[in-house]
Amino acid sequence: MKRVLLIFFLFSQFIILTGCSQLMRNRTEIDRIFNTRIIGIDKLEENKILFTITTKAGATNSQNSQEGAKASEILVTEGATVFEASRNMQQYAHKKPHYGHTEFVLFGEDTAKEGILPYLDFISRNLEFRYNAKIYIIRGDKANSFISRVNTGNLFLADKLSLMEDNAYAQSKTSKVTLSEALYIYSKKNVSTFLPVITIAPTMVGESQSEGNYDLIFKDYAIFRKDKLEDYLGDELSIGVNFVTNRIQSGIILIDAKDKKKVSMEIIESKTSIKPYMDENGLKCTINVKFNTNVAETLSKQDIFTEDGFQFLEHQQEAQVKKEIEKVLSYAQEKNMDFFGILTKFRIKYPMMKDELDEKWNELFPEIKFEVKVDSNVNRTYLIKDAATTQ
Q: Are 130 and 124 in contact (CB under 8 A)?
A: no
Assess if residue 62 is contained within a domain: yes
Of 147, 88, 141, nearest in space to 111 by CA: 141
Calpha distance 262→256 (Å, rounded)? 5
- Maximum Cα–Cα distance across the chain: 95
Calpha distance 7→1 (Å, rounded)? 10
Same domain, 255 and 113: no
Q: Are 190 and 343 in contact (CB under 8 A)?
A: yes
Q: Are 275 and 286 in contact (CB under 8 A)?
A: yes
pLDDT attached to residue 14: 64
Q: How confident is the model at residue 312 (pLDDT cuts 50, 70, 90)?
A: very high
Same domain, 250 and 332: yes
DSSP 155-210: S-HHHHHHHHHHHHTTTTS----BHHHHHHHHTSTT--EEEEEEEEEEEEETTEEE
Same domain, 202 and 302: no
Statement: residue 342 has pLDDT above 90: yes
Q: Are 220 and 266 in contact (CB under 8 A)?
A: no
Assess if residue 326 is contained within a domain: yes
Q: Are 71 and 151 in contact (CB under 8 A)?
A: yes
pLDDT attached to residue 50: 94
Same domain, 224 and 338: no
Give the length of the chain.
391
Statement: residue 189 has pLDDT above 80: no
Q: How confident is the model at residue 65 (pLDDT cuts 50, 70, 90)?
A: very low
Of 350, 339, 330, nearest in space to 277 by CA: 350
Statement: residue 24 has pLDDT above 90: no
Q: Which of 204, 232, 260 is the last residue of a domain?
A: 232
Assess if residue 19 is contained within a domain: no
Sign of the alpha-carbon torsion through 318, 255, 172, 306: negative
pLDDT in tens, 130-188: 889 999 999 999 999 999 888 766 778 888 899 888 888 888 889 999 998 888 777 77
Q: Name the more confident of 367 and 12.
A: 367
The CATH number of the domain where 389 resides is what?
3.30.300.210
Same domain, 51 and 189: yes
Same domain, 222 and 282: no
Assess if residue 23 is contained within a domain: no
Q: Which of 186, 203, 232 is the last residue of a domain?
A: 232
Q: Name the more confident of 155 and 264.
A: 264
Calpha distance 355→332 (Å, rounded)? 22
Sign of the alpha-carbon torsion through 118, 123, 45, 191: positive
Q: Are 52 and 134 in contact (CB under 8 A)?
A: no
Assess if residue 22 is contained within a domain: no
Looking at residues 102-112, what average pLDDT do you find? 95
pLDDT attached to residue 19: 53
CA-only gyration radius of the chain, Å? 26
Q: What are phi and psi of 130, to 5 degrees?
A: -90, 140
Same domain, 92 and 36: yes
Calpha distance 349→317 (Å, rounded)? 31
pLDDT attached to residue 194: 93
Torsional class of 68: left (φ above 0), alpha (ψ -120 to 50), beta (otherwise) = left
Of 293, 194, 295, nearest in space to 240 by CA: 194
Same domain, 164 and 251: no
Q: What percent of the chain has pLDDT over 90?
A: 50
Same domain, 117 and 174: yes
Q: Which of 174, 208, 232 is the last residue of a domain?
A: 232
Angle between helices 307-335 and 234-244 (to 10 degrees): 100
Q: Are 221 and 264 in contact (CB under 8 A)?
A: no
pLDDT attached to residue 58: 63
Q: What percent of the chain has pLDDT over 70?
A: 85
Assess if residue 5 is contained within a domain: no
Q: Are 373 and 287 in contact (CB under 8 A)?
A: yes
Same domain, 290 and 196: no
Same domain, 185 and 276: no
Structural domain range at position 164: 29-232
Same domain, 245 and 213: no
pLDDT attached to residue 208: 53
Number of domains in the chain: 2
